[in-house]
Structure 1
Amino acid sequence: MKFHGNSILLVSALLIVAALMAAGCTGTTEAPPSEEQTTLTVFTAASLTGAFTDIGKAYESQNPGLKIDLVFDGSQALRTQIEQGASPDVFVSANVKHMKALEVAGFMDNETVELFVENSVAVIVPVDNPANITTLTDLANPGVKLVIGTKDVPFGSYTRQVLDKMANSSAYGAEYREAVMGNVISEETAVSSVVPKLTLGEADAAFVYKSDIKQEYRDELTRIDIPAEYNVVAQYPLGILAESQQKDAAAAFVAFVRGTDGSGILTEYGFDPIPQGQ
């Protein structure tokens, strides 16, 4: 049988159409999209790294489909990021100052801001204690390598307040404060960078929060407590951002932090939870 040119083109076109129809009938169909996951971004003070990592995991395990994206840094750095356009759902600060600044500027949903834990300052030294520091007085000894926070970060500000109280006492005096500050070899912007300097032998002592001796470091560090008359109680606030698009989910997470499970984890890490309503 002979085919003319037009007939050949027609047959080819029909074959192509038939092949496409067959592919459409036998091909696999796309799977329906999976359920959309909700992600909450929580800007969190670095001193809460261990506790909030565990809190985030516990909350996710109880709430499938919800992810807690934790961003840890110094409170002042997190505040600056928010002021420059970052948009977390929740901000957790290591002091009232930085939270208050964001409240005044309209970044926070002020009705959601509340204090939830307290902390205080302590001195830590390596267990081998090469500088033989056994009391607070020893921090003024010549040659001691001391690490503190910068004056702009909460734990650095609290350290200076402690030293000011000691300078005003007859037991220590202004010369003590000057000698201690003269031994400072490094000022850090986050407590998370302090402990490694001691465990690696780069420093002899550091002012930190009492909660900063994590379980994994308890065999490597010794804590020297600061008497209450010189110490400073650090109060931590948390709250929801005014521009958060997930305020209900954020409120549920905050409630978990303040509830039995969250408070239990915070206590394990050395923090003192503040009962709701206080």
Structure 2
Amino acid sequence: MPSTLSGRRIAATALTAALLVPLAACGSGGDVSGAPETQLTVLAAASLTDVFATAGMAYEKEHPGTEVTFSFAGSQELAAQVEQGAPADALVTADTKTMDGLVSETGTPTVIAKNRLVIATGEGNPENIKGLDDLTAGGLKVVLAAPEVPVGRYSKQILDARKPAVRPVSQETDVRAVLSKVALGEADAGLVYRTDAASEADRVDAVDIPDAQNVVASYPAATLRHSQNAKAAAAFVRWLGGAEAQKILQDAGFQKP
């Protein structure tokens, strides 16, 4: 299921009825109710859930009168929302393939961060998993994201090079669902982004995958052509590539673009 955060105006992954109402364009000033001058809705990959909470606060502090609302989901679900005309201003996916498939719906994308995969295990690594080959052990419950999801596609790419094949007990809709299965003890291991494993460091361990066996995940960001806040959306995307946002991303474990 899609990952969400509360308390920072972060929307549920499935856009709520409130988000289905077109957002007002930038005005000349806030109204008497104290409503923000500009409301930006950003569709973002589930693996950005934690770091974008911090980034959103930093952006709003720098841009008084602007409110940023995030809707998190697997990139393939975000793409479906864009194609269906969901009201939003910018999109950040966990792969370039998904973004490239939306060329008629977006502005020119720019990669804002990169990531790598790790093997997430239960706290203390009770199954003593040391590498990818251990995931084929009989009786081991391995969970992956579905191949339609970027992290699932990356996982398939990594595992297809290993023999014998890894047979997952389930395929999830996004990386946070994979992480949750491992954290709750419903699976022994799963492939997730390094940053996601770090976000649950008190409940899961991370086993590194050597670079020669790993892949690099790229995160492109772009404005959406149907945005009612085009200038503000473009400013936010530019900000993601700037020094402050890059520090926030890299402090969370993301790699430089």
- TM-score norm. by structure 1 comes to 0.77
More helix by percentage: 1
The reply on whether 1:272 has 2:255 as its aligned counterpart is yes
The residue correspondences of 1:211-250 to structure 2 (distance < 5 A) are 211-215=195-199, 217-250=200-233
Q: Which of residues 109, 123, 126 is equivalent to 1:127?
A: 123
The alignment partner of 1:198 has SS state of: helix
Structure 2 gap ranges (5+): 1-30
> Aligned pair in 2 of structure 1 residues 34, 220: CA closer, same or farther (>3 Å)?
closer
Question: Which of 106, 109, 129 is the equivalent residue of 1:108?
Answer: 106
Aligned to 1:145: 141
Secondary structure in structure 1 of the residue aligned to 2:213:
coil
Task: Give 2:155's aligned residue.
Answer: 159
Q: 2:183 aligns with which of 193, 199, 213?
A: 199
SS at structure 2 position matched to 1:272: coil
**Partner residue, 1:188:** 172
Q: Residue 93 of structure 1 aligns with which residue?
A: 93
Letter in 2 for 1:240: T
Aligned partners of 2:122 and 2:203 also within 8 Å: yes
In 1, Cα distance between equivalents of 2:131 and 2:42: 38
1:273 Cα deviation from its structure 2 partner: 2.3
Task: State percent identity of aligned pairs.
Answer: 40
Partner of 1:254: 237
Q: Which amino acid aligns with 1:135?
A: G
Comparing 48-57 and 123-132, the one that deviates more: 123-132
Q: CA deviation at 1:91?
A: 0.5
- Amino acid across the alignment from 2:210: P
- CA offsets per residue over residues 244-278 of structure 1, 9 Å max, x none? 1212111221222111111111112211122xxxx
Number of matched residues? 226
Q: Alpha-carbon deviations, 1:67-126, whole Å to 9, x = none?
A: 1010000000010011111131000011111111110xx11123xx11121111111111
Tell me, yes or no, if structure 1 residue 83 matches structure 2 residue 79.
Answer: no
Alignment of 1:30-109 (within 5 A): 33-34=32-33, 36-37=35-36, 38-103=38-103, 106-109=104-107
Give ranges in structure 1 of 5+ residues lacking alignment. 1-31, 168-173
- Structure 1 stretches (4+) deviating beyond 3 angstroms? none
Q: Secondary structure at the match of 1:159?
A: helix
How many Å apart are 1:63 and its aligned residue? Answer: 1.9
Aligned-pair CA distance for 1:195:
1.9
Following TM superposition, by how much is the alpha carbon of 1:43 offset from its aligned partner in structure 2, in angstroms? 0.3
Q: Which amino acid aligns with 1:137?
A: D
Q: Secondary structure at the match of 2:47?
A: helix
Contact 1:145 1:203 in 2 (8 A): yes
Q: How far is the alpha carbon of 1:134 from its aligned partner? A: 2.7
Instruction: Say if 1:108 and 1:241, in contact at 8 Å, map to a contact too.
Output: yes
TM (norm. structure 2) is 0.83
Provide the rounded CA distance (Å) in 1 between the counterparts of 2:122 and 2:225.
Answer: 43
1:164 CA drift (Å): 2.0
Q: What's the counterpart of residue 15 of structure 1?
A: none
Residue identity in the other structure for 1:78: L
Q: Distance in 2 between matches of 1:109 and 1:253?
A: 13
Rg larger in 1 or in 2?
A: 1
Give the match's secondary structure for 2:69: strand
RMSD across aligned positions (CA): 1.5
Q: Are 2:124 and 2:205, in contact at CA under 8 Å, matched by a contact in 1?
A: no
Tell me the CA shift for residue 136 of structure 1: 2.6
Q: Contact 1:50 / 1:214 at 8 angstroms: preserved in 2?
A: no
Rounded to whole Å, the distance in 1 between the matches of 2:76 and 2:132 is 28
Tell me, in whole angstroms, the C-alpha distance in 2 between the residues paired with 1:130 and 1:225.
16
Cα distance, 1:36 vs structure 2 = 4.8
Q: Which amino acid aligns with 1:208?
A: V
Q: Give the AA of the match of 2:61.
A: S
Supply the AA of the counterpart residue of 2:106: M
What letter corresponds to residue 109 of structure 1 in structure 2?
G
